[in-house]
Chain A
Amino acid sequence: EAGVAQSPRYKIIEKRQSVAFWCNPISGHATLYWYQQILGQGPKLLIQFQNNGVVDDSQLPKDRFSAERLKGVDSTLKIQPAKLEDSAVYLCASSQAESTDTQYFGPGTRLTVL
């Protein structure tokens, strides 16, 4: 079974630029999550989708971050404009159903904002 795929693996941008990350969850997984992991910390949930609907985006900085999962499969997370403090690893995870709670993580995208 293929795992969660993410791209790019690494991205370096200057502050105030825009960036987008892509995630393809495990086939059949209805729930998709985006986490931000700052160096030395545990992952923090940014947004959770159930199919193509948002379940929880309470921790998403909506003035600069946006995410979509239009067809209920893959998802894109965008930052516009980026700030220095956005430097982190952005992890995508998926699970079969909301109540299952067993999340499978992708390798992440490491973002460096200069």
Chain B
Amino acid sequence: GEDVEQSLFLSVREGDSSVINCTYTDSSSTYLYWYKQEPGAGLQLLTYIFSNMDMKQDQRLTVLLNKKDKHLSLRIADTQTGDSAIYFCAEGHSSASKIIFGSGTRLSIRP
């Protein structure tokens, strides 16, 4: 079945880069997403990548996709305290809107 897995925690020093990793099982996924959830808030779509792409860059965010290994990563450059949140990896299809989420990675920032 469909499954998305992430490590639960990541701690980085302010100003360093953060890399959050994710693996998924559904090779037919068309869209791969990164959502951010701050305490008490809903999910905010950060970025997404189509399955026919290897990389997408958007300001401080870089998404890398290894479709062969079904591995997705999110790199946040120059990590700031405002980046503290839970980051969810998710997969979806173009033919249906169902999105499968991972359990989330809690990113904490050390001064």
Query: Residues of A with Cβ closer than 8 Å to B?
Result: 4, 31, 33, 40-45, 48, 55-56, 91, 93, 95, 98-108
Chain B contact residues, CB within 8 Å of chain A:
4, 30-31, 35, 40-45, 48, 88, 90, 92-99, 101-104
Judge whether A45 and B98 touch: CB under 8 Å: yes
**In the assembled complex, which residues on chain A have CB atoms less than 8 Å from the CB atom of B30?**
101
Q: Which of A4, A31, A104, A106 contacts B97 (CB 8 A)?
A: A31
B103 contacts across to A, CB distance below 8 A: 40-42
Query: CA separation between A43 and B104, bound complex, in Å?
Result: 10
Chain A residue with the shortest CB-CB distance to B89: A42
A8 to B24, alpha carbons, bound, how many Å? 34
Q: Do the beta carbons of A101 and B97 come within 8 Å of each other? A: yes
Contacts of A105 in B (CB 8 A): 35, 42-44
From B40, which residue of chain A is reached at the shortest CB distance? A107
B-side contacts of A91, CB under 8 Å: 42-43
Minimum CB–CB distance for B66 against chain A, Å: 21
In the complex the two chains form, is B101's CB within 8 Å of A56's CB?
no
Q: Known contacts A41-B103, A42-B88; is A98 also within 8 Å of B42 by CB?
A: no
Please give, as numbers and ranges, the residues of chain B lying within 8 Å of A48 by CB-CB distance: 97-98
Whether B90 lies near A42 (C-beta < 8 A) is: yes
Closest 3 CB pairs of A and B: A42-B101, A105-B42, A105-B43
A56 with B48: in contact, given A42-B102, A42-B103, A107-B40 (CB under 8 Å)? no
Nearest residue (CB) in B for A98 is B97
Choose among B94, B95, B101 the residue that contacts A43 (Cβ–Cβ < 8 A).
B101
Given A42, A56, A107, which contacts B96 in the complex, CB threshold below 8 Å?
A56
CB distance from A100 to the nearest CB of B (A): 8
